[in-house]
Amino acid sequence: MSNFGEIIQIHVGQAGAQIANACWELNCIEHGINANGCLHQIPEDDSFKTFFALSQSMKVVPRLVIVDSEPTVIDEIRSGWYRNLFHPDSLITGKEDCGSNFARGYYTIGWEMIDLTLDRIRRIAEVCDNLRGFLMFRSIGGGTGSGLGNLIFEKFQMEYAKKPKLEFIVFPSPSMAPLIVEAYNTVLSTHMGMDVSDCSFIVDNEALYDICSHKLDVKSPTYTNLNRIIGQVVSSFTVSQRFFQRSSFTFGEFQTNLVPYPRIHFPLISFAPFTRLTNSCFQEITTHTLTMECFQPSNHLVRCNPSEGKCMACVLLYRGDISEGDINTSINMLKTTKNSARFVDWSPTGFKTSTNHVAPSFVKGGDFAVTNRALLALTNNTAIKKAWCRLMIKFNKLFSRRAFVHHFVSEGMEESSLLEASNNVCSLIGDYEEIEK
């Protein structure tokens, strides 16, 4: 049994399935596992068992379920490089798409798939020695990730009420709208998931595109490029769960340290270093450099300016060749730097740090330059309200004319549910404004 117990990952919808490729590619590299699920060498400890189970034939199997309402993306996994890594029963597909409609993912198509999905998750949970929680990946702008994703978490409230439920969600970008009705889907998903998700970490594609273009020198980023950034972030997020050290951060501590009130559970993510390959030999990456970079808007995975808001809490997850003394010095300098991190009056210190000396790993031939240290900053900052405000502007433009509402009503949802959801998100914006006072 691993030191912190097992974590089950759930990837929902097209975005969730594509993110799975990047995350598990990096997980395998870090734990010395090949594409067929075989260990390169006998591990020194059982840290890999946090994310992987070991079969009787000594094959390593990821603890995950990937589910989508239509088969296209998951079929690519079934025939791709890692086709022999995943248990076939953990790849679940339906026969028809949710049509970018939350109501189809929640009320109709979702109900057809939920029992099988929960059964597969239950099978994985039953063989865990010490299940610590769940980590979900999805987009909430489409139909499957928003609708079915919410339905899964709601069912968890009955079976796994005491287990932490954390998620990484792809949020609608400020000026990139691949779906006309993504504002409806996002508002409904946020409303319905307010009480079932314990902590939701937000990324948006526009911020990821900016990072690829301006920091990693990738001129025409693909979803593979974007998802590998998410994979690097998730690796740093989970490193303390997989490699135990004295100052490691337990899975339940994320919620405890980042969520001051149940509704305010949408921390910002920033990461450093984003070092392009051509510059790697010219840059010195110090602890201070990492710390300061993580508080720059360009290093955040959501398009917003953190200096415009106030912090309620901040978790700094250092990894690699880092000393405790350098961390303390960097944080003290950060506190005296203008526009870096303004904390609310009732949380004057606000910083929680963790250090893990396992250096980051990188995909061979990827966009990242190899470094021996990295930092992931998770900050519950009121600046995130800007993203909700942008969302509500788009929502109100559609809903004021009742545009496209009939598509949702025809799937069994009442029109009043959209109004109730918008009121709840507006109330969330008000919660952030109240905290800033």
Catalytic residues: 253
Q: What are phi and psi of 98, to 5 degrees?
A: -80, 0
The amino acid that residue 426 corresponds to is C
CA pair distance 294, 117, nearest whole angstrom: 37
State the first-to-last Cα distance of the chain, in angstroms, to the nearest integer. Answer: 47
Q: Could you count the other beta carbons within 10 Å of the beta carbon of residue 363?
A: 15
For strand 165-171 and strand 199-204, is the pairing parallel, antiparallel, or unpaired? parallel
CA pair distance 109, 69, nearest whole angstrom: 7
Q: 136, 12 in Cβ contact below 8 A?
A: yes
Most distant CA atoms of the chain, gap in Å: 63
Q: Which helix (H) or strand (E) holds 384?
A: none
Q: 130, 6 in Cβ contact below 8 A?
A: yes
Residue 37's nearest CA partner among 18, 64, 11, 55 is 55
Q: What's the Cα-to-Cα distance from 80 to each of 85, 325, 435, rounded to whole Å?
A: 10, 45, 47
CA pair distance 375, 384, nearest whole angstrom: 21
Q: 269, 384 in Cβ contact below 8 A?
A: no
Dihedral of the alpha carbons of 400, 403, 407, 410, in degrees to the nearest 10: 50
Q: What's the Cα-to-Cα distance from 101 to each of 19, 277, 324, 388, rounded to whole Å?
A: 21, 40, 49, 20
Q: 61, 37 in Cβ contact below 8 A?
A: yes
CA pair distance 60, 224, nearest whole angstrom: 24
Q: 147, 100 in Cβ contact below 8 A?
A: no
